[in-house]
């Protein structure tokens, strides 16, 4: 199987590339707008520069490479940036997805699209796949529109929604809630952490495994893939401090109203992952296990 990955420089993209090469015999076509960060010496991987907002470039590359499966990870995921620059957000998250869909149709590739819990309003979480979407941010709106483009394409497809990723990037720098807590507490800095938002945090390797299961089984439809523990960021911060024996008194428990942010966040999301367990054999680590793998 030949798998093309967009956004291969990102946290998910890097872990997908490594996992596919480590555990399968598949050929990988890793694409990114900039030079590749994670360079692996393996005859089965090939790196390509691709601006996914350039429709002609997308068409030409997919026609040339003819992948069997496309895993579309690339996106503008900074929620506040999407709110402040909606034109850029729409171009990257929606228009580019439509370009990929049209190019995929020409070669009849299997399309896996990575989406988010922010498609929901956060009133009735945790959510299952059949629950109605109702985003409260522009970021969430762009992902709903992109999901629609994929679902209505006529392609064989899977949409993977995930929730609050954590884990170590393999090359480069990228903060998540765990690394942010660790860095601040190690420096003796006080931090304010939200206690009234709830998620099912997802360890990055679990998400990569779930996506790879879909690619291997060619299972179509919508899947919620996340961790299994229902936690607030404050819970995560306290668990991080305890595991690393850092000073938890530096962590101040606050409500989301304390922060002034351009984009609204849904209060309670998180996922019910029974469908992924039953149809894919997906089984995520507990948050404690994921934390240990990340920090050990």
pTM of the model: 0.97
The Cα 291–Cα 244 span in angstroms is 10
Of residues 268 and 173, more confidence is placed in: 268
SS3 127: strand
Give which of 149, 161, 31 is closest to 94, Cα–Cα: 149
| Number of CB atoms found within 10 A of residue 238's CB | 18
Q: Which residues contact 189 (CB under 8 A, 6 or more apart)?
A: 250
CATH architecture for the domain at 2-167+200-229+270-284 = 3-Layer(aba) Sandwich (3.40)
Please give the pLDDT value at position 175: 80
Domain boundaries, the chain: 2-167+200-229+270-284
β-pair partners for 157: 111
pLDDT value at 135 more than 80:
yes
Q: Are 199 and 269 in contact (CB under 8 A)?
A: yes
Which has the closest alpha carbon to 142: 102, 211, 105, 88? 88
Length of the chain, in residues:
296
C-alpha Rg value of the chain to the nearest Å: 19
Cβ proximity of 60 and 49 under 8 Å: no
Residue 75 confidence class, pLDDT cut points 50, 70, 90: very high
Return the residue matching tokens 């899947």: 223
The proportion of the chain whose per-residue pLDDT surpasses 70, expressed as a percent, equals 100
pLDDT in tens, 255-280: 999 999 999 999 999 999 999 999 99
Residue 172 has pLDDT above 80, yes or no: no
Q: Indicate the pLDDT class of residue 208, thresholds 50, 70 and 90.
A: very high
Residue partners of 129: CB distance under 8 A and separation at least 6: 161, 221, 222, 223, 224, 275
pLDDT at 296: 87
Q: How many Cβ atoms are within 10 Å of 253's Cβ, its own excluded?
A: 14
Roughly what angle, to the nearest 10 degrees, separates helices 233-244 and 287-295?
Answer: 50
Does residue 253 carry a pLDDT above 90?
A: yes
Judge residue 13's burial from the number of C-beta atoms within 10 Å of its C-beta, 0-12 exposed, 13-18 middle, 19 or more buried: buried
What band does 193 get if pLDDT is binned at 50, 70 and 90?
very high
Q: What whole-number distance in Å separates Cα of residue 230 and Cα of residue 199? A: 6
Q: What is the pLDDT of residues 220-230, one digit of tens each?
A: 999 999 999 99
Number of neighbours of residue 64 by Cβ within 10 angstroms: 9
pLDDT at 38: 84
Residue 173 has pLDDT above 80, yes or no: no
pLDDT at res. 127: 98
pLDDT tens string 28-73: 999 999 988 888 999 999 999 999 999 999 999 999 999 999 999 9
């Amino acid at each position: 199987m030949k798998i093309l990955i967009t956004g291969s420089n990102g946290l998910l993209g890097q872990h997908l590339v490594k996992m596919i090469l480590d555990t399968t015999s598949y050929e990988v076509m890793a694409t990114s707008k900039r030079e590749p960060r994670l360079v692996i010496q393996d005859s089965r991987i090939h790196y390509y520069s691709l601006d996914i907002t350039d429709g002609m470039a997308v068409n030409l590359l997919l026609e040339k490479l003819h992948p069997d499966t496309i895993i579309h990870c690339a996106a503008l995921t900074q929620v506040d940036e999407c709110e402040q620059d909606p034109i850029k957000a729409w171009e990257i998250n929606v228009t580019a997805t439509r370009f990929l869909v049209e190019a995929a149709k020409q070669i009849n590739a299997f399309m896996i699209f990575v989406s988010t819990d922010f498609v929901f309003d956060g009133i009735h979480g945790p959510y299952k796949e059949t629950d109605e979407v109702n985003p409260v941010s522009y970021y969430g709106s762009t992902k709903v529109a992109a999901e629609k483009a994929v679902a209505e394409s006529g392609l064989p497809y899977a949409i993977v929604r995930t929730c609050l990723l954590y884990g170590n990037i393999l090359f480069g720098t990228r903060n998540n809630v765990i690394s942010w807590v660790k860095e601040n507490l190690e420096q003796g800095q006080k931090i304010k952490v939200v206690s009234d938002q709830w998620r099912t945090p997802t360890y990055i390797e679990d998400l990569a495994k779930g996506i790879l299961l879909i690619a291997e089984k060619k299972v179509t439809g919508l899947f919620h893939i996340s961790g299994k523990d229902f936690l607030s960021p404050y819970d995560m911060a306290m668990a991080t401090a305890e595991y690393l024996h850092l000073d938890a008194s530096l962590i101040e428990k606050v409500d989301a109203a304390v922060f002034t942010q351009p984009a609204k966040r849904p209060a309670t999301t998180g996922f019910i992952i029974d469908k992924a367990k039953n149809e894919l054999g997906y089984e995520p680590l507990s948050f404690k296990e994921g934390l240990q793998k990340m920090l050990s």
